Amino acid sequence: MAAQPSPVQYETSVYQAGLHDHRPPFTFKSEEWEPLALARLSASSKGYVHGNAGSGGTYKKNLAAFEKYSIVPNRLVPSLKDSEGNSLFSDSSTTVLGQKLNFPIAMAPVGVLRIFNPEGEIAAAKAAKAVGVTYIMSTASSTSIEDVAEANGDDGHRWYQLYWPPNANNDITISILNRAKKAGFKALFVTLDTYVLGWRPSDMDNGYNPFLHADRIGVEVGFTDPVFQAHFKKEKGYEIYEASKNHAIDREGGSIGEAAREWASLVFPGHSHTWEDIKFLQEHWDGPIVLKGIQSVSDAKKAVEAGVQGIVVSNHGGRQQDGGAASLSMLPKIVDAVGSKLDILFDSGIRCGADALKAIALGAKCDCEPRLPAVLETVKKDTPNKGKRFYKCQNWKETTGKCDMFLWEEEAATRAEAALLNQSRTEPRRQEDVRLPPRQEQFSVTPTPSYDFRAPSLRAPSQAGTVLSNYTNSNALDDGEETEDDFEEAMIKAEHDTQPIAQTIESLESHLPAPATPRTNRADPMVTPGKRKYSDIGLETPQTMRQPQLGLHDSGYGGGDASERRASKRRAVDSDFLTMASPQSSPTPSRFRNAEETAVTQQTLFKDISAALTTHGVRLSDRVNHSLSQVCARYERKTHGLGKGREIARLALTAREAKVAELEHRINTLGAELNTERAIVKHLREAGDDDTL
């Protein structure tokens, strides 16, 4: 695909043209595109493109999901450079399905485009090529596969989307796949959620199904397919094209209308394929296969087992199912489960570049297991930092696509002390803690939801991203699976690798006095994000979350009426304004309050144990000494933190008792005032009665 001007270059060209009084022919305000388009459409076309399944609940959730996040940039971050030292600031390229793309977006597969524009898919394919984005052709096109490929050009980048005929018509499916391969389509997108059209009230109000009309809308892929033509001629006794020439178009059942209904019954057969049927597609398509319409972790895992190269987290823009989950709410869970095993694409709800960026930040993932323990190493090079100790991810590599988590030992200790002293969590809060109500107002929809791919790496934009995501809102109905990731095997391996040190520490800890039991929901601050049930393996393990250049936080303002916004704001305050960036990468002042003043630094316990061991002639290696020192320091910090917590609890209890006493006094005062008011009212009534007499 030919290189295209970067967004910065394009913006500059617009301003340069403005110096010569040249204005763009079309507004750049994306929120105005939809009303402009709807104003030019017929009632039936408007109902088709603007309508959604049922009451539109899924569609509304798609839009509302994006409004719960805000983009939080980091400042003074050095610009990225390529191997030759050139700035990559404006490089938006990425690699998806092994193919280099100029931008992490593509034109989604939208069918029946001729009801919006006379040129239909021809115009769309040309436009995609002109701006350098991938065009995904729909099986429901009003143009043949070959004509779309010609419009997209030899240097255009295109993928093919399949509405999958039943197994009884596998010969037609094979014919379509062969035509797409021959026409230069590089990947196959198989839509799983539309084996029957959704319940769409707008279309039903207009009595309009574009596929059933005898005007060749949405059926040209079938009408130009030689195998389907042969089937039709065998059954009806005449060619489809003969019907178009020799028979009048009859919307009530003429020849063309009959052929259209025959084709629609194949691509929307009313029953689904099975996971075993994926093998058939793999046998007849030699490129990447992507399953479109994945909405659950269990289905994503099955896609991995089936051996496909990618999935699209999508609910068809809310057009197929009412009452569904927002696609964005399911994206992080799915990425966390299978993101390192296949490419994950996204659609449903994107309306602007900021939405695409949020989806990228939520959906991109580094190649490491995010709950593996970090390893402690020493700087060996002759630099000013020689001899200093640091933590890094087990999967840390100097190559793109691996986790680059890095943390100096003293920084890790500071974070641990601050977190323990304040009895705070050191992992990002899960969104399950913040349950925002669904948006109630009406939204609008555009005809073509954009795709959004895995992010360009913040270290090398031409590669897959490494932005780690937080977890998604649990308001949406899930598949019922446990949301924890399954890293047992990885943790067993890590435990085996560190077994000698772990045994040494365990034997030493057995002689230490047991500290008071901490709160059950406390997490070891030196463990990577998650449930942390694998933390005690012998080595302290700081989070393997890198400092991202882009973070998201839940703003807590989801729109709706005033009471909804106030409630949403209170929930956000209670959850410390849930942030997508690691609390360790951007610690809040409250997390570190009084840390330097109250930190336990003397390590009396370690000195006492060392003295006792020395008295008995026991010598320990430097590594064991270091591990023992950390164990003792952790126990002292926990003990000190518990003491501080008890003191805070005592003060809070005292304050509460004082408040209760104050309220009781106030109640008594109000009671006395009420009695006085009643006496006055009684007196006035008696006085009024006397005047009447």
Distance of alpha carbon 386 from its chain centroid, rounded?
A: 40
Residue 37 forms part of a structural domain:
yes
In a domain, 56, yes or no: yes
How many domains, the chain?
Answer: 1
Q: What is the pLDDT of residue 331?
A: 93
* Sequence letter at residue 492: I
Element (H, E) at 255: helix 255-267
Q: Is residue 193 part of a domain?
A: yes
**Least confident interval from 87-96, 125-134, 288-297:** 87-96
Residue 23 included in any domain? yes
549 occurs within a structural domain: no
Q: What is the pLDDT of residue 482?
A: 38
Q: Which two tokens stand for residue 547?
A: 């400092």
The closest of 116, 91, 98, 96 to 106, measured between CA atoms, is 96
In a domain, 234, yes or no: yes
316 is catalytic: yes
Annotated active-site residue in 157, 213, 316, 553? 316
CA 26/CA 9 separation, integer angstroms: 18
Tokens of 495: 């435990």
Residue 464 phi, psi dihedral angles, 5° rounding: -65, 150
Q: Both ends of the chain: CA-CA distance in Å?
A: 103
Which runs of E-coded beta strand occur in 433-518? 451-452
Residues 606-632 have pLDDT tens digits of: 788 888 888 888 878 888 888 888 888
3-state DSSP call for residue 107?
strand
- Cα distances (angstroms) measured from residue 564 to each of 298, 324, 328, 559: 33, 21, 21, 7
Give the CATH number, domain containing residue 241.
Answer: 3.20.20.70
3-state helix, strand, coil in the chain (%, to 5): 45, 10, 45
Range 290-311 average pLDDT: 96
Q: Do residues 577 and 553 make contact, with C-beta atoms less than 8 angstroms apart?
A: yes
Average pLDDT value over all residues in the chain: 73
Q: Which amino acid is at 356?
A: A
Domain annotation covers residue 611 = no
Token representation of residue 577: 């304004």
Select the more confidently predicted residue: 17 or 84: 17
Residue-range definition of the domain harbouring residue 304:
7-363
Whether residue 515 has pLDDT greater than 70: no
**499 within some domain:** no
| Interval 157-172: pLDDT, tens | 999 999 999 999 999 9
- 434-488 pLDDT, tens digit each: 333 443 333 333 333 444 444 333 333 333 332 323 333 333 333 433 333 333 4
- From the CA atom positions of the chain, what is the Rg in Å? 32
pLDDT score of 687? 76
Answer for the pair 268, 164: CB distance below 8 angstroms, yes or no: no
Please state, in angstroms and rounded to a whole number, the distance separating the CA atoms of residues 466 and 404: 9
Write the pLDDT tens digit of every residue in 657-676: 888 988 988 898 898 889 88
Q: What percent of the chain has pLDDT over 70?
A: 65
DSSP helix/strand/coil, 54: coil
